[in-house]
Amino acid sequence: MERALVIGASGGIGAALACDLRSRGAEVVGLSRRADGLDVTDAAAVDRVMGALEGEFDRIVVATGILAPEDRVPEKSLSSIDAPTMAQVMAVNAIGPALILAQIPRLLPHDRRSVVAVLTARVGSIGDNRMGGWYAYRASKAAANQITHTAAIEMARKRKQSIVVALHPGTVATPFTADYPAHEKVGAEQAARNLIAVMDSLTPAQSGGFFDYSGVVVPW
């Protein structure tokens, strides 16, 4: 039986992932700030909650993140940049996944395939940036991509069958994207199915990559 860990399991995509994996017969452990006190901006909370986990996981998904703090919106121009807001977005979207990834190696098997997926976003791609704007969110997701890529290199040294990747889930219809009605969106359940299919298709040779919901490589 597959054993899976979903971090951010109370969010739209995280909840859908946990539900779908359970429907496939997996044993799923879900963690969230709401249910477990896992505040990814608090290193002590990450150490406490992640440190309490035991055993090995075949699949780990980091599905945490914010578009902007509750009282803010993504910046449309340089003049809109606010240092505390940018720091908060970076703390959640980049430093948080780094703190999580630091806890993961001990939870992965040595003798079989495993997948670690960090959900980032296409807007974190520097090569694909043609629209501009959204400075903090773009920068935080680009940083998360770099952190994930670097973690993949380290984990492969001792776990040759591990796969560590950044995944773009598409624009998913959740409260996270509710203020952007013009975007073409997919339901959380379909997004979960798409992401699981991509994870299942990857090989260790693709570890460290950045892929979208259909398995296509996204430029850095």
Q: What stretch of H or E contains 210? A: strand 210-212
SS3 181: coil
Confidence of residue 172 (pLDDT cuts 50, 70, 90): confident
For residue 1, give Cα distances in angstroms to 64, 87, 165: 25, 40, 22
pLDDT at residue 192, rounded to an integer = 96
Q: 123, 138 in Cβ contact below 8 A?
A: yes
pTM for this predicted structure: 0.93
Q: Measured between alpha carbons, how far is 157 from 59 in angstroms, rounded to an integer?
A: 18
pLDDT at residue 71, rounded to an integer = 87
Q: Classify residue 175 by its DSSP letter.
A: G
Q: At residue 207, what is the residue type?
A: S
Nearest to 171 by CA among 182, 185, 181: 185
Torsion angles phi and psi, residue 217, rounded to 5: -65, 135
> Which residues, including other chains, have CB under 8 Å from residue 34's CB and lie 6 or more apart?
10
Percent of the chain with pLDDT over 70: 95
Q: Measured between alpha carbons, how far is 20 from 16 in angstroms, rounded to an integer?
A: 6
Mean pLDDT of 9-15: 95
Confidence of residue 176 (pLDDT cuts 50, 70, 90): low
pLDDT at residue 181, rounded to an integer = 55
Ordered by where they begin, the domains of the chain are 3-212 (3.40.50.720)
SS3 11: coil
Nearest to 3 by CA among 56, 77, 46, 49: 56
First vs last Cα of the chain: how many Å apart?
Answer: 35
Q: Say which residue the tokens 């990450």 belong to.
A: 46
pLDDT at residue 200, rounded to an integer = 98
Q: Is pLDDT above 90 for 177?
A: no
1 vs 142: which has the higher pLDDT = 142
How do residues 81-112 score in pLDDT, each as one tens digit? 999 999 999 999 999 999 999 999 999 999 99
Q: 37, 43 in Cβ contact below 8 A?
A: no
Q: What share of the chain is helix, strand, coil (3-state, %, to 5)?
A: 45, 15, 40
Nearest to 7 by CA among 166, 107, 119: 119
Q: 198, 151 in Cβ contact below 8 A?
A: no
How do residues 44-79 score in pLDDT, each as one tens digit? 999 999 999 999 999 999 999 999 998 899 999 999
Alpha-carbon torsion, ordered 157, 139, 46, 57, to 10 deg: -40
Q: At residue 98, what is the residue type?
A: A
Mean pLDDT of 23-37: 97
